Structure 1
Amino acid sequence: MNKQTFKLGLAGLAIAVNVLAGSIVSSLKIPLLFLDAIGTIFIAVLLGPFWALGVGIVTNLVMGVTSGPTAIPFGLVNGGIGLVVGLIARKYGFGWGSAIISGIIISIVAPLIGTPISIAMFGGLTGGGIDIFVLWLSQMGQSIFAAAFIPRITSNFVDKILSCILVLLLIKQLPATLLLKMGYSTKERNDQSYGA
């Protein structure tokens, strides 16, 4: 199997992981979690920002078909997550510090992209677990932007930092030969990515 075919297969697997994890969390309406970008973050670290952009967008297209069309416009959020994490990982590696910092940054970026989408297309409510908080904040007198943004940024801090840490732990378990096949050097893995 050539390198491009392997990368395409890995991207397809990441999309499936995103869709499955996101669908489970969405159907259970678990507050503070989405888990629909773990595959995107994984691809961002191993294959780079542009592969991750594609994985993020395609994930939401698939979720739009399997779970309902409300997921489709949020492909911009998932793709944005991939770009940001991919750029950070390329520049700084992906160790504990950069994983947590990546999680914090995408915790802010995701709702900055997603809140205007949710307001413009759905009045701030998307049928997810955080809708109860959006409604509560609206009833308390918050503007629609604040009511939609505050629960999203709160849940994103939990979800995105957790997602980045889970990806880091997964990558640390992968064999060096597999990482090399993806173009991820073991020197980078040992010296830069997994330092303190």
Structure 2
Amino acid sequence: MKKMTVLQLCLLALAAALNTAGASIALALRLPIYLDTLGTMLAAALFGPFWAMVPGLISGLFCGITSDIYALYYIPVQLITGFAAGLVFKRFTPKGRKILPASLFVSLPGTAVSASVTALLFGGITSSGSTLLVQLLHGMGANLTLSVFLVQAATDYADRAIVMAAALAVLPLLPGSVKYLLQKGDGHRGAL
């Protein structure tokens, strides 16, 4: 494995901070989406599957310790999402309508894990705004596990599509010199 440059380390830290900020905004506004993977998507586009898991791990630990204990239980979802997004970006850069199937590929594996965590560990009640939708479906007579899975699938997919589109909008804004240094892996500017 190549040595990580200081620039790469700083960008991964920024990605974790973006995840944390997005999660805090979604939690404070009780949004039915999560916004906790913007940094993960950017890391996936810039670094690939393995390093795309790092921002999710860091932000999950930070949020879980500081503001939202539930975030700790969803760290595996962050890891799966980062890896899946890294695979997508390694293969191609989704643009336009291709964001929708790419988001589906990224969201499905994490949805299976997050729905299981939500249903089995928390009985459908979490800090997320989507909990209201789960309780509404369950109150209408749907099985709890089915309610959690349907809501989780819809909200995860919407979240991943929004976040992927946002990440793709941010990527062109990176200076050319940063992109060049990331591709080249210039060790003259410091490596770890």
User: TM-score, normalised on structure 2?
Assistant: 0.88
The aligned counterpart of 2:10 is 9
Residue identity opposite 1:10 in structure 2: L
Flag structure 1 segments of 5+ consecutive residues without an equivalent: 186-196
Contact 1:47 1:183 in 2 (8 A): no
Contact 1:45 1:94 in 2 (8 A): no
How far 1:98 moved relative to its partner? Answer: 4.7
Contact 1:76 1:113 in 2 (8 A): yes
Counting matched residue pairs gives 183
How far 1:79 moved relative to its partner? Answer: 1.2
In the TM superposition, what whole-angstrom CA distance separates every residue of 1:30-83 from its partner, at most 9, and x where no partner exists? 12x211000001001101111111221221111101213211111111111110
1: CA distance, partners of 2:184 / 2:168: 14
How far 1:161 moved relative to its partner? Answer: 0.4
How far 1:102 moved relative to its partner? Answer: 2.1
**Which secondary structure does the structure 1 equivalent of 2:128 belong to?**
coil
**Which secondary structure does the structure 2 equivalent of 1:116 belong to?**
helix
Contact 1:88 1:98 in 2 (8 A): no
Residue identity opposite 2:172 in structure 1: K
Q: How does 1:1-196 map to 2 (within 5 A)?
A: 4-31=5-32, 33-96=33-96, 98-183=98-183
Percent identity, please.
Answer: 25
How far 1:28 moved relative to its partner? Answer: 1.1
User: TM-score, normalised on structure 1?
Assistant: 0.86
1: CA distance, partners of 2:50 / 2:38: 16
How far 1:14 moved relative to its partner? Answer: 0.7
**Which secondary structure does the structure 2 equivalent of 1:183 belong to?**
helix
Contact 1:103 1:163 in 2 (8 A): no
2: CA distance, partners of 1:76 / 1:97: 28
In the TM superposition, what whole-angstrom CA distance separates every residue of 1:106-153 from its partner, at most 9, and x where no partner exists? 232222110101122211211211111111111122122111111111
2: CA distance, partners of 1:124 / 1:142: 12
1: CA distance, partners of 2:52 / 2:98: 17
Contact 1:3 1:181 in 2 (8 A): no
1: CA distance, partners of 2:108 / 2:66: 27
2: CA distance, partners of 1:163 / 1:106: 11
How far 1:167 moved relative to its partner? Answer: 0.4
How far 1:93 moved relative to its partner? Answer: 3.3
